[in-house]
Structures are given as structure tokens and as C-alpha cells.
Amino acid sequence: MPCAFAMAQTEVPHTPLELLKPLIENENEAAAHRECYEYLSNERSERTGGHLWNERIVENSDGRIAMLLAVDGKPLTPAQAQQEHARLNAIAADPADFIRKGQATRNDELHARHMLELLPRDFLFDNVRLEDGVWKMNFHPNPEVSPSAIEDQVLHGMNGWLAIDASQMRLMHIEGKLDQPVTIGMGLLANIHAGSHFSSDRHLEDGHWRTVHVVTQIGGKAALFKTVAKNSELTRTQFHYFDHSLSVPEAVQVLLQQQMTASLH
């Protein structure tokens, strides 16, 4: 679906907010119309137990349905593959349970999205420049702002930079890093170490903006990170867009059929 503010922004803006406003509106527009597509994912995180998982994923409006293909570069054994098929068939048989659990689970990409929402209110900007069709700007905490929410306080402590595609006004890159530790509630609510950081890269793939690389390295502990992998890195490739929506059972069948076809070659 086309974005409402997809016009090029190639003139020097009066303020950074003149760049952020159409960017945020475009990202909100895209988030409100979730597409259905599949891709390959390589992830190493607490979710994977520190192992490198290669998965094929179908993503729709209900969440991400994943089939594990290999662990640490080794294909699944026949017994492991059978177990994975049984897990997927159970999801297809009870999609409501899958959807409910998916909605309760946060993911690292939300750091980037939430940071984007906080930028106009909680941060100051400098070094705004246009380089080869890409707007770039640095951001740092606004000392006059004191966020109340725990997550906002942690993110507000970060310095970083972002890149915006000037022709479509879409986010290409955002990253933030804590230069100083963040302690909240005498360390009971949060105690995040200096050097903690996150980054997110997005490319235009198959005519659509896709998140292709996400890194999250959070040192310390905080209540808000209980359901988020503190140390994770994932890379996504081989995107394929579906021009129609797939239900959870249909997505499962796509994964099983593709794996069956691959095993015949």
C-alpha cells in the first residue's frame, strides 16, 4: 500500500522534525497494513540457546510461523524434522493458541520502532546531512526531558544516528548506544550497563521495505527485558511477497510443502 508521504525530501529541511514527521507517518501507515511474506532467517539469541538457527518463516497479520531447517549449520536429523513437523501441525490445528502466544511475545525490532516514536519528543538532533539520496542525522538525549516509563528511560539514555531514504521517506537504519549506565529504582527496576546497544537495518526487497538485520546487545537486567532476548543477532534473506493474506494453517502448509519439495532435490 502506498504511503501517504512518499514524496521525495531532497531540500534541506528547516528542522529535523520536518524529516521525522513524514518518516514516522509512513512507518505507521506501513505497520497498520501488515503484509504476508516469507523469508529465510538466521538467528543467534537467547531464544535459540546461543545456537545459530536457520529458519524459513512465513509472516502474516497474526505473527510469524517458523520452520527450523538447521542448527549451527547442520540440517535437522530425520527425528528432529519429524518433531518440527508435529509442532507445525499442532499450530495449524489450534491457530488461536498460536496467535494468543504471539501477541504476548515482544521482539527486538520493537526497540527500533519505539525509539523512532520517542525521537521527536525526547531527543535533540545534529549533523543533519543528505548523502547520495539518504538523509542522515545524529540524535542524543534532550536533558530537559525526563521520561516516566522504564523502557523510555532506558532508551532516552542512548545516543545514535538514523538514515532515511530521501525518495520514499522510509527508515533505512537506526541504532542507539548507552554511553552511561542507566539505573532505575536503585537498580531494582533497571540496571543497564554502559555500552548496551541495538541497531536495525532495512532494505527495499521485492518492492517492499524489509528488516534485514537486527542486533540487540543489552548488558545488565531490567523488568522490561524479561521477554526480550538480551543478546541477539538475526539476518533475513530471500524474501517472497504474497499478494494475498494467508491464514495460520495455510502458512503452515506453505512451509511443509516447501520443505517436502526441497527434500526431493
What is the helix, strand, coil percentage profile of the chain, to 5?
Answer: 30, 40, 30
User: Which of the residue ranges 50-64, 140-154, 171-185, 218-232 has the most confident prediction, judged by mean pLDDT?
Assistant: 50-64
Residue spans per domain, the chain: 17-33+107-226, 36-105+243-263
Looking at residue 1, the DSSP 8-state letter turns out to be: -
Q: Which residues fall within 8 angstroms of residue 87, CB to CB, at 6 or more apart?
A: none
- Rounded Cα distance between 72 and 50, Å, is 10
How far from 124 is each of 18, 139, 145, CA to CA, in Å?
A: 13, 6, 10
pTM given for the model: 0.86
3-class secondary-structure state, position 28: helix
Is there a contact between 53 and 68 (Cβ–Cβ < 8 Å)? yes
pLDDT mean over 34-51: 93
Tell me what pLDDT residue 108 has: 52
Look at the block and give the residue holding cell 532476548: 229
User: CB neighbours of 85 closer than 8 A, spacing ≥ 6?
Assistant: 256
Highest mean pLDDT among 113-117, 139-143, 195-199: 139-143
pLDDT at 228: 38
Q: Give the contacts of 65 (CB within 8 A, at least 6 positions apart).
A: 57, 58, 59, 88, 91, 98, 248, 251, 252, 255
Q: What pLDDT, on a 0 to 100 scale, did the predictor assign at position 5?
A: 45
Does residue 164 carry a pLDDT above 50?
A: yes
Q: Give residue 1's pLDDT.
A: 46
Residue 38 pLDDT > 60: yes
CA angle 88, 89, 90 (to 5 degrees): 90
Name the residue among 198, 195, 192, 125 with its Cα closest to residue 164: 125
Pairwise pLDDT comparison (227 vs 174), residue with the higher score: 174
